[in-house]
Chains A and B, each alone.
Chain A
Amino acid sequence: MFLNYLFRELRHRHRQAVLTALGLALGICLVVTVSASAGGVRSAQNQVLHSLYGVGTDISVTQSAKSGSGGAQQFAMNPGSTKKQGQSFARDRVTSTMGLALLSTTKVTAVKSLSGVSSAVGGLTLSSMHVSGHFAKVSGSTSSSASKSTSAQPSTSSSGSATPSQSPIKISSFTIAGIDVSDQTIGPLSSTTLTSGRTFTSSETSAKVVVIDAAYAKQNSIVVGDTMKISGVSFKVIGIRKSATSSVDVYMPLLMAQTISGETGKVNEIYVKATSATQIATVKAEIKKTVSGATVTTAQDLANQVSGSLSSASKLSSSLGKWLEVAALISAVAVASLLTLSGVGRRVREFGTLKAIGWKSRRIVSQVLGEALIQGLAGGAIGVALGYAATRLIGAFSPSLQATVGASGLPTSRAGSFFGGAPGASSAGGGPGDALRGLSHTVTVYLHAPISVSLVAVAIALAVAGGLIAGGLGGWRAARLSPADALRRVD
């Protein structure tokens, strides 16, 4: 009787039932789409953070360079002899990334021994600059115009020329990351994926081998097995790794990075993994005590510094998105409630009659609630289907989002550390100013809106709840009906 009555009523008032279900469906569709998009934005943020930070890294420790420790790069460009006029020259300079102070490796050990620290490794990020060209020919003069021209134009583009007799000087720069090969699960390498060749073995602490970033390798036509000369040392390319957002062009064992830069026993970054997420704040405080003057950055700190359209999308999804969901749900429930109340209004005689023949109010309310529940379930199912279609549409278009981290938000040391030279930009050739260009780094990620089982469950539950609220209101109205009034109204 209950189900017969319920389904017959729904069929009899199918227009109202469909309208109610569609009203709820639209609200649910919006909830699913906005939530899935917000999930997509969060996933994009994680993608950015992981690629910037390394999947396993919780905390990064750096120290800002001391005041007055900077300055222009210098290259010894004096040919030394007039015989060298017109001959080729090449100069390399590998330095610790500007803005970061060097830390002793003993600090890494100290951090590693702190409670709450699961593991800690040191890293040395370097900027390598390569200058090559031909010494100028200066007839009747013993001085080198080449040295004058290069020192006069340290930040010009690679095609710049000093004097009519000076042939172009080529300047290229790239970023090197010295990796602790004994633990590659944290640090810059952990955010990359191997596309060809192999990665370092834990025994290759002093091997002359490098792993190249895929974008840099492509731009410079480098393949596995090639040899790369850095600061006069030949390195064998053993692997190529891909990263959506990495700012490092060349990875090499930490010891080799220290050797070619002359910074033996030094690092400029410490990557830390906490024993658990809840320990991060405590560990951060402990590290600050251990490494005085250190800049300790957690993934959350980094997330807070991200700007650009990804950040805007994140803010939008977390603020406007939430309100949009709430507004859509309230509207949907209001529409469903109004339609249900109006339906009850049209059935006053029916409910009055049932009360007259002895039906309890509870039974009538459950009848109305049952009908609303079915409408809610239908609305939820339709809403999820519509939401799924909308998220597929978002997936098909995959709108791009930019995340900018750098000079405007981060301390110089962090920016320099993480984003010291955008991949590709450095190898395109440029002046020494390229090393500074990395202070701001923009990453592009593509938005997808994944629908999880839990989201579907929440959506259905919301639709059912919406239906029950509407049914509850309708039932409450039906329950309050006095049978005499209900019958009298008809008479």
Chain B
Amino acid sequence: MNDPYQVLNISRDASDAEVKKAYLELARKYHPDNYHDSPLEDLAQEKMKEINAAYEQITKERSGRASGSSASYGGSYSYGYGYGGSQSYSGSSVFQQIRLAINRGDLTRAEGLLNAISDHNAEWNFLKGTICFRRGWLDEARRYYQTACQMDPNNAEYRQALNYMESGGQTAYQQGGTFGTDCDSGLCGKLCCAYVLCNSFGYGGFRFCCI
């Protein structure tokens, strides 16, 4: 394993507070929410594992006892990703198949199944938006999510997806939330709101999953 101090990018004589600060910064940077539905999700997960392991090792060495896991942040980050939300889903089996295809990364099949459905309900629009998002078609994704939210305003999953798009892809875990092409002062205000809103949900708050 790599030197845990090197992984956290700190010197060996860093204080406990500095170690924790460095760890939290990195954990925030590589938090799964920043890579949800990204083709690089697995790389971010590996990075997160490495950071968690480094932090645990340092805490263990310093305290001289086998603890540390309780303090690590995002230790259970695989929870809810990709598969965790399936119980909340209650749609027809075709939509379920589409969700499975999206999660496998088989966008052609997902789109084929979706195009065969004539009833363009909220779920249809949400899934169409998700496929667009996976392709990098961010403007269309946002518009499909918008339609899904208009059709079913009480669905939390659709709302989270739209909020994420409305923040221009900034999650609560990204730093520099005020950076952006500042052509409208309202945007920063919205980002701050999104930040507070998300933090109030805990670290799973800004997630929107397919299944």
Whether chains A and B associate is no
Residue positions of B touching A, CB distance < 8 A: none
Chain A residues in the interface with B (C-beta under 8 A): none
